[in-house]
């Protein structure tokens, strides 16, 4: 699609959608959101850019093969699930690290569920973008 308006707007939109996807990913543990929906929003942002500029530039800004992104994400998710197994808990049990916790406040909570969600995020981004690129390139 060769429209200068769409191409200009698509860059702005992509930036906003990527930021919003990170926000969704971060809040996902206790509020609506998470890796899957965050990944879909990020993929939608990248696809908008790809529609405007073509699949070639989409590959360029991704810097890695979408399939590799997806499977790295899966690997991260599996590792997040296996970390508690090393400590003797069940597969996928949440392990938490509370940074700067006070008696009233949990502080910054980092845990394996977040790592799992990051893995899901990457798997969804890689999977969806990979499919869209494959379709666009065969058109």
Q: Which residues bind other proteins (CB under 8 A)?
A: 67-68, 71-72, 74-75, 78, 82, 85, 89-94
Closest CB to other proteins among 13 and 71? Answer: 71
Neighbours of 139 (CB within 10 A): 5
Q: Angle at Cα 129 formed by Cα 126 and Cα 130, nearest 5°? A: 75
| Cα–Cα dist 80/119, whole Å | 8
Q: How far is the CB of 127 from other proteins (least distance, A)?
A: 9
| Cα–Cα dist 54/52, whole Å | 6
Q: How far is the CB of 105 from other proteins (least distance, A)?
A: 25
Q: How far is the CB of 41 from other proteins (least distance, A)?
A: 20
| Cα–Cα dist 78/104, whole Å | 33
Q: How far is the CB of 75 from other proteins (least distance, A)?
A: 5
Closest CB to other proteins among 28 and 49? Answer: 28
Q: Which two tokens stand for residue 132?
A: 């869209």
Closest CB to other proteins among 38 and 113? Answer: 113
């Amino acid at each position: 699609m060769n429209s200068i308006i769409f191409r200009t707007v698509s860059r702005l939109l992509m930036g906003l959608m990527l930021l919003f996807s990170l926000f969704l990913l971060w809040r996902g543990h206790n509020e609506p959101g998470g890796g899957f929906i965050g990944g879909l929003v990020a993929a939608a942002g990248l696809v908008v850019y790809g529609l405007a500029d073509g699949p070639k530039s989409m590959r360029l800004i991704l810097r890695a093969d979408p399939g590799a992104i997806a499977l790295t994400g899966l690997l991260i998710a599996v590792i997040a699930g296996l970390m508690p197994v090393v400590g003797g808990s069940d597969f996928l049990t949440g392990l938490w690290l509370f940074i700067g916790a006070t008696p009233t406040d949990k502080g910054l909570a980092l845990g394996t569920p977040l790592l799992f969600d990051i893995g899901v995020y990457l798997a969804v981004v890689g999977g969806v973008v990979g499919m869209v690129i494959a379709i666009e390139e065969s058109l």
